[in-house]
Amino acid sequence: MFPFAFLNTSKSKLSLPNVITRPTGFLPGRIARIITNIISGFIIATLLLGCTASSTPTQFYLLNPITINEPVTPATTKSPTLGIGPVTLPKYLDRPEIVSRVGPNRLKIDEFHLWAGPLKDNIQFAIAENLSLLVPNNGVTLFPWKKSDGVTLRISITIRRFDIDQSQATLVADWTQGHSDRLATLSSHRSNINVPVAANDYPAKVSALNQALEEFSKEIAASIR
């Protein structure tokens, strides 16, 4: 009787679904664990990548006024009161990042080497400080100025290029001299200055840009004397 009990069809029908349903309940749980492991691995990799990127320190730079070691001989007559500005920049330069030229039509914007403040303001301030030393006995004020500042000669500057490559810094600027009224122009000029870069690193490149700005300031000063 035992063999016949083993072949009982009613028990076979009850046992067959048990054989089928056990794997189907197992697969979704396994897939869920695999997906969880993939997501966890992705999150860990993203965090590690973020830590690697954030480990690169950001450097900040300033343009400094000229340093004159020899005393400047005072002028015999009082120079005009200078108003410096406005200074305008092309859009590609009006940004925190330092811009390098890596080809005739290619620029490099470096997110880890930044100007410490707005480049336009830094240029305007450095030129004003330079002219206060290069043109003795003159007053200097920055745009915008008030009528009470007594500006008698305005220097308006449009920067066309102020960038660097591996070999040199380049400054190209159009500038005008005029009365305090912005519509009155006495003379127009263009400066094109190139300064060699001593090394292929950002401190050397910024130093070359600083020197180019000093040479530009000297050209303005020579026109005023």
- Give the tens place of pLDDT for each residue, 178-206: 887 666 788 999 999 999 999 989 999 99
Query: Where does 59-224 sit in CATH, by number?
Result: 3.40.50.10610
pLDDT tens, 1-14? 444 443 444 444 44
Structure confidence at residue 79 as a pLDDT band (50, 70, 90): low
Over range 208-223, report the average pLDDT: 95
Model confidence at 54: pLDDT above 70? no
Q: Name the 3-class secondary structure at 8.
A: coil
Spans of all domains in the chain: 2-54, 59-224
Q: Provide the whole-model pTM.
A: 0.71
| CA gap 143, 151 in Å, rounded | 10
* Rounded Cα distance, 209 and 205, in Å: 6
Q: How far, in Å, CA of 217 to CA of 103, rounded?
A: 28
**Per-residue CA distances from 196 to 93, 123, 186, 203, 210 (Å):** 20, 20, 33, 13, 12
